[in-house]
Amino acid sequence: MIIFYLHHSRNKLYITRLNINVLIKILDTQNKNKIRLFTPGPVTMSTDMLTIGASQLPYNRTKQFSKTTFEIIEGLKYIFGTQGDVVIFAASGTGAMEAVFFNFLDQSDKVLIVNGGTFGQRWVDLCIQHEIPYEQISLEPGQPISLEDLEHKLSSQKYSTLLINAHETSTGMIYDTKAIGELTHKYGIFFVVDAISSICADVFMMDEWHVDVSLLSSQKALALPPGLSFLALNMKAQLRLEKKNCQSYYFDIKKYLTDQKRGQMPFTPVIGHFMMLHVRLREIRLQGIEFFISHHSKLANYFRNGLKGMPFRFVPNSPSNALTAISCPKDIDASDLVMKLADKFNCFVAPNGGELKYSVFRVSHFGKQNKTDIDFLINALDYILNKYKHTKNNILMENY
């Protein structure tokens, strides 16, 4: 079998006609010493961040650490696009999601949830866990929300709060948070946005878009290890916070806001992560957040263009820069393809769960990846596809 191998050398693009056996030898050689992560967390980290992470931790109850914390908070405000406060949790993004329930919601609320996949469902699960009354708008994978339908619901005055994901990471769908924010502002709805996999990859402007509370975590476009999450809140959220009695000792935002005024945390912070975050936010401020959004956009477009001619389909029509969700042909098992990329090429993409487990896999554009890495992934996908033999009723995988 003859195929074409796409590769770069000295900033020039070459297309070489290769036998499939030659290609696999090339890929095997490149594969030996490098793990390639195309997962939406953890991501490939820069050498600078890895060096900081391997350094001796400083003591945190000092004026110097307080100064670092103050600078971190200002950097976080910049990337959220807010003049409001930001609190820092030693927790995953789901911890920040649950903090919303502990601090801002109770049984007197009536919540509306946009549920377009796994992470929309997480809002639903949290409502059930905390016994918060809710209704949901259930969307098919990759389906955009109808703003007309949403306005009809919000204008009914039945709901106090709207919960959405700026980017539904299980499908790659990005919602029009700006337009939704105009509706919540119009009807006086408390607006909470999980922007965990969106900020720094897509445009997000918390204050301008009338978002009252928004969330982020460290292992997405910030390209840091998992372990930190962030909750930004505006004045409207502050007023609601004052009226609520927090039902959690650890996630009590009032404690964090009090201690952060002196540059400290109420509980032991993830100090090494703070040191990496401090440098990372400084890099973003120096180059401008627009640079990082553009970088993610370029990687996403390069990858999507590289799949032309392959038998895949993109799940949403309006995807995030953060991630590409790919639907396989009926006769190809997405979970099996994910496993073969890992086993044969040390190349990790994200599987899906639930009803999408066997049909959709996801490729993130986070972290320290470049076009050479993307070329490697595309060629690996091409090799695996070429190993499938078509029969009348199905596609069978040849033995390696």
Q: pLDDT digit string (tens) for 49-104? A: 999 999 999 999 999 999 999 999 999 999 999 999 999 999 999 999 999 999 99
CA distance 25 to 214: 47
Contacts of 354 (CB under 8 A, 6+ apart): 118
Q: pLDDT digit string (tens) for 327-337? A: 999 989 999 99
**Which pLDDT does position 134 carry in this prediction?**
98
pLDDT interval class at 21 (50, 70, 90)? low
Q: Give yes or no for residue 5 having a pLDDT over 50.
A: no
- Name the pairing type of β-strands 395-397 and 388-390: antiparallel
CA distance 72 to 66: 10
**Which pLDDT does position 393 carry in this prediction?**
37
Instruction: Share the mean pLDDT of the chain.
Output: 91
pLDDT interval class at 387 (50, 70, 90)? confident
Instruction: Kindly state the tokens that stand for 368.
Output: 């320290």
DSSP secondary structure, 313-342, as one string:
EES-SSB-SSEEEEEPPTTS-HHHHHHHHH
Q: pLDDT digit string (tens) for 152-192? A: 999 999 999 999 999 999 999 999 999 999 999 999 999 99
Region 214-237: what's the mean pLDDT? 98
* The pTM of the whole model exceeds 0.85: yes
pLDDT interval class at 29 (50, 70, 90)? low
Return the closest-CA partner of residue 201 out of 41, 2, 31: 41
Q: pLDDT digit string (tens) for 189-218? A: 999 999 999 999 999 999 999 999 999 999
Q: Give yes or no for residue 11 having a pLDDT over 60.
A: no
Buried/exposed 188-220: b ≥16 CB within 10 Å, e otherwise? ebbbbbbbbbbbbbbbbebbebbbbbbbbbbbb
Instruction: Kindly state the tokens that stand for 343.
Output: 């086993």
pLDDT interval class at 13 (50, 70, 90)? very low
Q: Give yes or no for residue 8 having a pLDDT over 70.
A: no
CA angle, residues 284, 285, 287, in degrees to nearest 5: 65
pLDDT interval class at 398 (50, 70, 90)? very low
**Which pLDDT does position 357 carry in this prediction?**
96
Q: Give yes or no for residue 394 having a pLDDT over 90.
A: no
Span of 260-264, 336-340, 377-381, 387-391 with lowest mean pLDDT? 387-391
**Which pLDDT does position 388 carry in this prediction?**
72
pLDDT interval class at 132 (50, 70, 90)? very high
Contact indicator for 366, 57 with CB cutoff of 8 Å = no
Q: What structural domains does the chain harbor?
A: 2-45+291-397 (3.90.1150.10), 48-287 (3.40.640.10)
Q: pLDDT digit string (tens) for 288-297? A: 999 999 999 9
Q: pLDDT digit string (tens) for 320-376? A: 999 999 999 998 999 999 999 999 999 999 999 989 999 999 999 999 999 999 999
DSSP-H helix ranges across the chain: 20-31, 47-53, 63-80, 93-104, 118-129, 147-154, 177-187, 235-243, 253-260, 271-287, 289-306, 334-345, 371-386
pLDDT interval class at 144 (50, 70, 90)? very high
Q: pLDDT digit string (tens) for 269-305? A: 999 999 999 999 999 999 999 999 999 999 999 999 9
Span of 183-192, 226-235, 380-389 with lowest mean pLDDT? 380-389
